[in-house]
């Protein structure tokens, strides 16, 4: 008999949105790969220290040092560098032996580490990410094909509406306002259900067009659990009434 539950598909990674805001991330190396890693974690508001001789910094990393976006220690890595409250290590040096030593030291200290281009020595992988404001979409091949992940990411991004990032931002603002209207813990299922209705019934264009006054008016429909269209909201109509659509007919909103 076929199980009613999803089949387990082993061999994957647990994809998470890892919050590293104000965490101390140590980057070993200063080349092109390190530059990409640094940008990723700076975008997540982490505090970054780069350990690399000055002559090993590429132009991008050197710019981030000179503009005080990151801290730079101009010398090779030392094991004692892991004693300074490090929350994560990103190693991007072209030295397999040194990279393996870094990974082993991190394992001993239980510090999560990523060793560039060595999947077996990674506690986590960097995927190919599409970013549009608060929206982030990551494609991972579990270390099998980073270039292919980039191709898939571009194809997915090409099919997304141009305004989807703004729509996501507006939904987030509406959610925060709703929590102030109904802050009780017991309201959580109703809040989630009502927000789902808004996302399902409003188009992305409507969500982008929604203004602060529209949000305040929309929140007034939370208690009865109804969701009017944006046009009904601005006309002060109740959901389900007949509404003139500007043509030769009427429709039910």
**Catalytic residue set:** 117
Q: How far is CA 63 from the centre of its chain?
A: 25
DSSP symbols for 94-114? S-HHHHHHHHHHHHHHT--EE
- Paired tokens of 8: 């387990």
Q: Please, what is the end-to-end C-alpha distance for the chain in angstroms?
A: 44
Task: Confirm if 152 and 142 have CB atoms less than 8 A apart.
Answer: no
Residue 86: other Cβ atoms inside 10 A: 18
Distances (CA, A) of 20 to 38, 45, 78, 243: 12, 7, 24, 49
Task: Determine the Cα–Cα distance for residues 94 and 31; give it in Å rounded to an integer.
Answer: 9
- Paired tokens of 29: 């190396």
């Amino acid at each position: 008999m076929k199980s009613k539950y999803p089949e387990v598909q082993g061999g994957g990674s647990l994809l998470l949105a890892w919050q590293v805001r104000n965490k101390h991330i140590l980057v070993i190396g200063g080349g092109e790969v390190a530059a990409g890693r640094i940008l990723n974690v700076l975008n997540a508001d982490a505090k970054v220290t780069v350990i690399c001789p000055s002559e090993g910094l590429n132009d991008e990393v050197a710019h981030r040092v000179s503009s005080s976006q990151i801290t730079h220690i101009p010398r090779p890595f030392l094991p004692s560098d892991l004693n300074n409250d490090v929350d994560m290590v990103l190693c991007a040096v072209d030295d397999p032996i040194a990279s393996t030593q870094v990974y082993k030291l991190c394992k001993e200290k239980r510090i999560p580490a990523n060793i560039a281009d060595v999947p077996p020595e990674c506690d986590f992988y960097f995927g190919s990410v599409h970013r549009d404001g608060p929206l982030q979409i990551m494609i991972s091949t579990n270390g099998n094909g980073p270039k292919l992940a980039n191709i898939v990411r571009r194809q997915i991004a090409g099919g997304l509406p141009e305004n989807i990032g703004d729509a996501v931002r507006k939904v987030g603002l509406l959610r925060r306002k709703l929590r102030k209207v109904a802050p009780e813990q017991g309201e959580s299922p109703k809040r989630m259900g009502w927000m789902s209705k808004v996302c399902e019934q409003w188009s992305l264009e409507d969500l982008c067009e929604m203004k602060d006054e529209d949000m305040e008016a929309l929140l007034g429909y939370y208690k009865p659990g109804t969701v009017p269209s944006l046009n009904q909201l601005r006309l002060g109509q109740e959901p389900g009434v007949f509404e003139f659509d500007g043509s030769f007919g009427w429709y039910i909103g």
